[in-house]
């Protein structure tokens, strides 16, 4: 890009201060949490955009994309940059489209659907929703920082998934609006099934500018930590509670020792050598839960009302992919995988993994509801990294014994395991981004020749 390009971008967004060239800021806004993966670290270190543009509206985005299309300039969308797979890291320079200033919650409809811009932080939406009697169905453990648009573009689930499934399930995303990367960029509304063309496509097939997100009635939550002598006893107890629909819960997480030893700020609740379960449970059921924990041989080490995201301790800060962060703080050789165990053979699968990899593969289990309504044992195991070959051995072995793996050590939509077999994300990219300028390199099955050929034969 040259100075003429920069001048043109400045004129397009009205306020020149929203076109940023400062190299430190450009670098900072080109990065995410890709360094969680030793494999991606090697691949992505040093990659960055050339300029940051901060739009305020879909119309401004149309102007920027029209200009970038005409001048073959890549554009990479960015929410809060908390993604783990280098999703928001530009591979070919160009514009980092920072959506953080489009942060307005437009409305929370009486039926519990929030209408908002993509830069709204999930924590803000949770807090505002609760004021109106609603709350998020599911959210990543990065809720305080992560944006709604980034969650749709690159996230999958988290706290609440045990009750409400993933973001992609149960029509949680009711509709969204995207701006396309065409000679004349359009604003297109995707509703119902059509949202799946855009969800989890890493910003490769359109810029999300407006979202209709279904919420759920707010619950008075409590948090609870239970300690068990053995992993087997903790897992049995957690599974019983997670799979029984009578319990109103938002989080059921099991950490085998030594994972709890990494949680330094809450060491007072972590007895040496024990397996822990972290729960978020309806306050009305807290006493009953504590009794159930004791009955199955556990001890409650901490419990109490959850006042919201300012809770201290905030247990969600240790769950989902925050667990990996605590492990890496203890020893930077730790990394992670994302797994789905078979609910019928999970104990045998875990036994085989332990036999094969010993303490290199530590069990961090997250119970989650799948699209068919069954609560299954998912996992974000903490694994000890030695070589890429050994990591791939672990992935291959998991798959061999029927454990699903969404590989977080690859930098494209397809490799991450969340790609849809019906190809709708690719088909949308062929229509909306024929030159392949949106987050280039991240949709491995896209080739711009096919898009151009498709256009010619239409
Ligand atoms: P970004 O990282 O900015 O972007 C993510 C992707 O979406 C990128 O490809 C980007 O190009 C694209 N994108 C952003 N905005 C738009 C837009 N408006 N239109 C189109 N594309 C867009 N994820 C989970 O799902 N569950 C978890 O529990 C979880 N825990 C985490 C814990 C830690 C400690 C960390 C570091 C990450 C975790 N993540 C988790 C990953 C990440 O935090 C979430 O997916 C989060 O929702 C991403 O939001 P963001 O605003 O930071 O997105």
Residues 160-209: tens digit of each pLDDT: 999 999 999 999 999 999 999 999 999 999 999 999 999 999 999 999 99
Ligand 1 in reach of 139 Cβ (< 6 A): no
Query: Which H helix or E strand runs over 357?
Result: helix 346-357
Q: What is the mean pLDDT of residues 2-23?
A: 95
Task: Write down the pLDDT at residue 451.
Answer: 67
Q: What is the arithmetic mean of pLDDT over 255-283?
A: 98
What percentage of the chain carries pLDDT values higher than 70? 97
3-state DSSP call for residue 84?
coil
Q: Residue 191 Cα, ligand 1 centroid: separation in angstroms?
A: 22
Q: How high is the pLDDT of residue 420?
A: 76
Give the Cα separation of 78 and 212 in Å (integer): 19
More confidently predicted of 456 and 302: 302
Neighbours of 454 (CB within 10 A): 13
**pLDDT of amino acid 403:** 98
> Of 33, 40, 58, 142, which is best to mutate to test ligand 1, by the most ligand atoms within 8 angstroms of its C-beta?
142
Residue 368 has φ and ψ, to the nearest 5°, of -145, 145
Report pLDDT for 80.
98
Pairing type for strands 382-384 and 375-379 reads unpaired
How far, in Å, is the centroid of ligand 1 from the Cα of 384? 24
Token reading at 83: 């993604």
Q: Which atom of ligand 1 is nearest to the CA of 151?
A: 47
Burial class (CB in 10 A: 0-12, 13-18, 19+), 291: exposed
Of residues 455 and 72, which shows the higher confidence score? Answer: 72
Nearest to 32 by CA among 95, 93, 86: 86
CB 435 within 8 A of CB 375: no
Give helix 231-243 / helix 286-295 axis angle, nearest 10°: 140
> What does the angle CA 101 – CA 105 – CA 107 come to, to the nearest 5 degrees?
155
Distance of CA 284 to the CA centre of its chain: 30
DSSP secondary structure, 58-78, as one string: HHHHHHHHHHHHHTT--EEEE
The pLDDT score that the predictor gives to residue 273 is 98
Q: Is 121 in the pocket of ligand 1 (CB under 6 A)?
A: no
Distance 7 CA to ligand 1 centre (A): 30
pLDDT tens figures, 301-357: 999 999 999 999 999 999 999 999 999 999 999 999 999 999 999 999 999 999 999
DSSP strand pairing (134-136 vs 207-217): antiparallel
Cβ atoms of residues 35 and 80 within 8 Å: no
Would you say the CB of residue 79 lies under 6 angstroms from ligand 1? Answer: yes
pLDDT recorded at residue 290? 98
Res 455: pLDDT: 46
CA-CA distance, 129 to 232, in Å (whole number)?
Answer: 38
Residue 454 confidence (pLDDT) above 80: no
Q: How far is the CA of 88 from the centre of ligand 1 (A)?
A: 8
The model carries a pTM of 0.97
- pLDDT at 456 (0 to 100): 43
Going by CA atoms, what residue is nearest to atom 53 of ligand 1? 150
291 CA → ligand 1 middle, Å: 37
Q: How far is the CA of 310 from the centre of ligand 1 (A)?
A: 21
Q: For residue 418, what pLDDT band results from cuts at 50, 70 and 90?
A: low
Q: In this model, does residue 422 exceed pLDDT 90?
A: no
pLDDT at 14: 83
First to last CA, the chain: 33
Max CA separation in the chain (angstroms): 71
- How does the average pLDDT of the chain come out, rounded? 96
Beta-carbon-side half-sphere exposure of residue 258 (alpha carbons within 13 Å): 14
**In terms of Cα–Cα distance, which of 154, 166, 246 is closest to 200?**
154
Atom of ligand 1 nearest to the CA of 322: 34
Residue 409 CA to ligand 1 center (angstroms) comes to: 15
Where does residue 356 rank: exposed (0-12), middle (13-18), buried (19+ CB within 10 A)? middle
Residue 123 CA to ligand 1 center (angstroms) comes to: 13
440 lines ligand 1 (CB under 6 A): no
**Run of H or E including 105:** strand 105-108
Q: Which residue has the least CA distance to atom 45 on ligand 1?
A: 155
Comparing 448 with 357, the larger pLDDT belongs to: 357
Kind of pairing between the strands at 51-53 and 75-78: unpaired
Centroid of ligand 1 to alpha carbon of 81 (angstroms): 6
Return the ligand 1 atom nearest residue 153 CA: 7
The values of phi and psi at residue 16, to 5°, are -60, -20
More confident residue, 458 or 255: 255
pLDDT at 453: 57
Taking only the tens place, the pLDDT of each residue in 74-117 is 999 999 999 989 999 999 999 999 999 999 999 999 999 999 99
Closest ligand 1 atom to residue 159 Cα is 28
CA distance 379 to 400: 17
Question: What pLDDT is recorded for position 7?
Answer: 96
d(CA 349, CA 342): 8
Cα–Cα distance measured from residue 234 to residue 257, given in angstroms and rounded to the nearest whole number:
11
Residues 6+ apart with CB under 8 A from 412: 441, 442, 443, 444
């Amino acid at each position: 890009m040259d100075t003429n390009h920069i001048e043109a971008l400045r004129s397009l967004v009205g306020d020149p201060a929203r076109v940023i060239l400062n190299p430190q800021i450009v670098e900072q806004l080109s990065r995410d949490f890709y360094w969680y993966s030793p494999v991606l670290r090697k691949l992505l270190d040093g990659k960055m955009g050339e300029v940051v543009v901060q739009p305020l509206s879909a119309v401004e985005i149309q102007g920027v994309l029209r200009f970038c299309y005409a001048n073959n300039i890549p554009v990479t969308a960015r929410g809060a940059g908390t993604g783990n797979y280098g999703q928001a890291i530009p591979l070919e320079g160009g514009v980092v489209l920072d959506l953080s200033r489009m942060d307005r919650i437009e409305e929370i409809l009486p039926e519990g659907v929030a209408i908002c811009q993509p830069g709204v932080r999930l924590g803000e939406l949770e807090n505002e929703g609760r004021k109106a009697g609603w709350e998020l169905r599911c959210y990543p453990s990065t809720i305080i920082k992560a944006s709604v648009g980034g969650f749709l573009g690159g996230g999958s689930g988290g706290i609440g998934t045990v009750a409400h499934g993933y973001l992609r399930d149960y029509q949680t995303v009711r509709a969204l609006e995207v701006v396309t990367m065409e000679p004349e960029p359009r604003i297109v509304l995707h509703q119902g099934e059509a949202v799946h063309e855009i969800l989890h496509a890493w910003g490769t097939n359109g810029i999300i500018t407006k979202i209709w997100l279904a919420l759920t009635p707010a619950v008075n939550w409590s948090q609870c930590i239970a300690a068990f002598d053995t992993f087997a006893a903790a897992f049995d107890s957690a599974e019983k509670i997670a799979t029984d629909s009578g319990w109103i819960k938002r989080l059921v997480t099991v950490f085998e020792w030594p994972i709890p030893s990494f949680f330094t700020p809450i060491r007072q609740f972590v007895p040496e050598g024990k397996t822990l379960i972290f729960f978020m449970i309806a306050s009305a059921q807290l006493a009953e839960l504590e009794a159930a924990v004791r009955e199955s041989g556990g001890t409650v080490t901490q419990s109490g009302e959850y006042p919201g995201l300012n809770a201290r301790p905030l247990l969600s800060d240790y769950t989902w992919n925050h667990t990996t962060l605590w492990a890496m703080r203890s020893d930077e050789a730790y990394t992670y995988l994302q797994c789905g165990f078979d609910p019928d053979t999970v104990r045998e699968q875990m036994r085989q993994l332990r036999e094969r990899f010993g303490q290199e593969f530590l069990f961090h289990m997250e119970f989650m509801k799948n699209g068919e309504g069954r609560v299954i044992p998912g996992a974000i195991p903490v694994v000890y990294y030695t070589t890429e070959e050994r990591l791939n051995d672990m992935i291959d072995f998991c798959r061999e014994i029927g454990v699903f793996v969404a590989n977080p050590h690859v930098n494209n939509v397809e490799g991450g395991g969340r790609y849809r077999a019906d190809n709708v994300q690719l088909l949308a990219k062929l229509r909306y981004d024929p030159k392949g300028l949106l987050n280039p390199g991240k949709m491995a099955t896209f080739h711009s020749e096919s898009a151009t050929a498709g256009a010619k034969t239409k």
